[in-house]
Chains A and B, each alone.
Chain A
Amino acid sequence: MIEAGADSYDKRSEDEIIEYYTSQKGTEMIWSKEETLPREEIERIQLERLQETVSRVYEKVAPYRKKMDEAGVKPEDIRTLADLSKLPFVTKQDMRDNYPFGLFAVGKDELVRIHASSGTTGKPTVVGYTQGDLKTWTECVSRIACMGGATGKDVAQICFGYGMFTGALGLHYGLENIGAAIVPSSTGNSQKQIMYMQDFETSLLVATPSYALRLAEVAKEMGVEPERDLKVRIALVGSELLTDAMREEMHKFWGKDILITSNYGMSELMGPGVSGECLEHCGMHINEDYFIPEIIDPKTGEVLPVGEQGELVITCIKKEGLPLIRYRTKDITRLFYEKCKCGRTFCRMENLSGRSDDMLKIRGVNVFPSQIEEVILSVEELGPHYEIILEREGFLDKLTIRVELAHVTDSFAVLEKITAEVKNKLKIMLGLDAKVLLVSPNTLQRFEGKAKRVKDLRSK
């Protein structure tokens, strides 16, 4: 087992943890004292861990050593946190090129878990965990669960697909660690999911926003009113963007009092647990003693000043198995360092406005599917289910949006008004010309995991 640097800050005695935990049980709490450290202290830990990680990676990970040599950087060149920008990036392509274990810093013997993300093209990306990594992961998720309002009294139903995907097991161990009762119901069999919610009095739901909506829909079909008949008080959503419009839509289905918080992570970095939203709803706190965030210009790779929007780059500073340095997440966000009202000092990343991977270029206009979603959700008569279809007609892109009506109407005028409203808003707000096709309620595909709502049929 490799001992990673400065441990003093997360080695609390078990008694200390139990005491801290029981004193706060049932109320919103801050899981670890690290989350409230002064900035200088956070930075001191970060530098120490960064230096240790870079030396270790240089020694053990040949492909990254090669990159550093090519860039002319040695581990001893990292003297301050600002020196991080001297280091080369790691991309998803690097992970594919070194499939499966090429970027690992430990031998297979030391791994205790392997996950993989389903690659839509080519090989999947493989990630591995040592015993120590699993502890780190559990710690990080425990923190974001508490940030999001979870407590040890919750009955937590995990409606993420269990398996090679990191989401379900990540939340599972984190929530179990804070004392919640886990219902590992996974995805699918939605009627049974509703039965568990009723019978076990599930109070916390883990799901993608689109599956949470689906579950509410199924409940209603069964004659179960989520707000009246179920006890779900928190939804910890992830793995999909949670726009403000989507949050509102979730309130329509689950009631106005449900607490909805999003959290962020990706398997390459660890899984869920990189950052999470606190009850102040002002962005997601990054676990800065484990991850150093940077925002770069995705075109030039240059680090942008604090507060500017760009691509999030993350360096793992306390991982043993797969310590990625300057990993390009392709997620677009910005960082805030002001102290949060919740008491945490860890910086916050703005809820994502999109993934650069998901960005669509339609007739020269750059647009995120989430922006189209916001337009759709702003029209009252429309449900939250839609499909974006892109085709090429001659030299022109053709955009078609199929969207479900929330209810059937007998008024032709209403249908014409809805169509015109969506078209106008797309034109005015996003500069897009679209064909809008209304479809009957309950006819578009429903998703249990990450929703796939874009069909790009243009030949690339």
Chain B
Amino acid sequence: MAVLLIAEHDNSALNGVTAKALTAAAAMGSPVHVLVAGQNAKAVAEAAAKLSGVEKVLLADDTLYAHRLAEPLAALLVSLAPGYDAIVGPSTASAKNVLPRVAALLDVMQVSDIIKVVAPDTFERPIYAGNAIQTVKSNDAKKVVTVRTASFAATPEGGSAAIETVGAASDPALSTFVEESIAASDRPELTAAKIIVSGGRAVGSREKFAELIEPLADALGAAVGASRAAVDAGYAPNDWQVGQTGKVVAPELYVALGISGAIQHLAGMKDSKVIVAVNKDEEAPIFQVADYGLVGDINTVIPELKAEIAKVKG
């Protein structure tokens, strides 16, 4: 089964979720080719070529793909589709945007957000905010699949695949890019971080978020997450939201501070290896999934926690 994997990137660097989605793609079959569609994205293609088990990297370098708009990118994928039995992408905003469009153009029912490859045509996927796990078999001739990358280990480097240039497909000219505001940050990305420190409504303000949550995250070398309530209230930017309708994460350590533990939030973090919860309400549902729970006020606990961590880290 020939598999085409869409690389996630920002034109300059390959995003780490690609190596995780590659693990799922390789479990479905071989050869695996990786598509890098972008503008001035040669470095991305070179990084993808180093991933173990990749047979070939296809580089479509054109202004048309600079922002990976759904319409031209779908046209490109459909033009490449005849050569493949499966088209796979990580469950990122970009792939979730384009792949269903590709699936419909190929008259295929997509399998979304798989957490396990049971067989090349059979997958496990969560439904109802992760309260049930469905095993589904795709009866379509071609498979279109998105991968929940938190559920797969990254494929290591160790390959040296050839890079082949592919021309741009036709431009449907349906939409145009206007602008983008991407926050620059030195912190690890949520979906790649080993430790995540998340704040909830209890934090109280944007200023308190910066004063309490962010320094603790930095002390731990962690990414920062937030509940929907914290994002809706404007304490944290939208792409920090963890949960059913935000990002799904599974770090080594997840620290939930002043978060109640609604099912929609748990859906995004309950597969973390170790969960710590700090909440002043000892009945808060977050404690039902926490390995270590501390009943207390975040305003006093967080500074203490930061000091104690500094101590043990020396």
Partners in one complex: no
Question: Which A residues have a C-beta under 8 Å from some C-beta of B?
Answer: none
Question: Which B residues have a C-beta under 8 Å from some C-beta of A?
Answer: none
